[in-house]
């Protein structure tokens, strides 16, 4: 995993983005390249099974090219081996979209919001909780429930 260490000022709401801390304030070093899911896993908040489920969901999200795009993709299509080796690029994209939709559906109503925000959009848990107008520190429990269901969908054993 690549590292991009930046200084963030500590505030009552958590680390403040942007510049170094002001005089008399505390700051922390943060790896800005680390995903929220990897951060939770590295600190023992998610076990390997749940982390793997989240990584597979994000991989399907990226393979299905579901993130917003402002222009046409002009990059060359790279074909690699693996379980999808016999499929065309369009078929691989559709297969990833079907897996992603199935995993999100398996997570269930009310859980897909936090799952998408943290795993796919890489929002931090506090940011996702604020956006969903949830109480602080409630997102971790709901995310774990959603990842349990996604791990079952992908048949990841613990």
**CA-based torsion, 10, 12, 18, 23: positive or negative:** negative
Same domain for 61 and 8?
Answer: no
Same domain for 113 and 141?
Answer: yes
Per-residue pLDDT reduced to its tens digit, 98-149: 999 999 999 999 899 999 999 999 899 999 999 999 998 899 999 999 999 9
Buried b (16+ CB within 10 A) or exposed e, 116-141: bbbbbeebbbebbbeeeeeeeeebee
Residue 101 and residue 91 in contact, taking contact as beta carbons nearer than 8 Å: no
* Alpha carbon of residue 46 to chain centroid: 13
Same domain for 4 and 60?
Answer: no
Same domain for 125 and 142?
Answer: yes
Residue with tokens 């990842």: 147
pTM higher than 0.85: no
Same domain for 105 and 90?
Answer: yes
Same domain for 96 and 157?
Answer: yes
Same domain for 25 and 43?
Answer: no
Instruction: Give domain status of residue 76, yes or no.
Output: no
Query: What is the count of structural domains for the chain?
Result: 2
Residue 13: domain span: 1-34
pLDDT band for position 91 (50/70/90)?
Answer: confident
Residue with tokens 């936090």: 114
Same domain for 13 and 57?
Answer: no
Q: What would the two tokens of residue 8 be?
A: 């963030």
Instruction: Give domain status of residue 47, yes or no.
Output: yes
Q: Please give the pLDDT value at position 145.
A: 96
Residue 63 and residue 90 in contact, taking contact as beta carbons nearer than 8 Å: no
Instruction: Give domain status of residue 60, yes or no.
Output: yes
Per-residue pLDDT reduced to its tens digit, 8-43: 676 655 545 555 545 567 776 766 557 899 989 988
Per-residue pLDDT reduced to its tens digit, 34-74: 789 998 998 899 999 999 999 999 999 999 988 776 666 66
Q: Please give the pLDDT value at position 89.
A: 79
């Amino acid at each position: 995993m690549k590292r991009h260490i930046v200084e963030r000022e500590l505030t009552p709401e958590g680390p403040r983005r942007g510049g170094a801390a002001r005089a008399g304030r505390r700051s922390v070093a943060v790896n800005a390249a680390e995903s929220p899911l990897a951060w939770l896993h590295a600190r023992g908040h998610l076990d390997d099974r749940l982390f793997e489920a989240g990584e597979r969901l994000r991989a399907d999200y990226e393979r299905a090219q579901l993130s917003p795009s402002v222009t046409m993709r002009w990059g060359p299509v790279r074909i690699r081996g693996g379980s999808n080796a016999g499929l065309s690029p369009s078929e691989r994209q559709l297969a990833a979209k079907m897996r992603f939709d199935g995993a999100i559906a398996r997570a269930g109503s009310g859980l897909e919001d936090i799952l998408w925000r943290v795993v796919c959009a890489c929002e931090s848990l506090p940011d996702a909780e604020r956006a969903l107008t949830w109480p602080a520190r409630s997102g971790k429990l709901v995310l774990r429930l959603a990842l349990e269901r996604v791990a079952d969908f992908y048949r990841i054993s613990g």
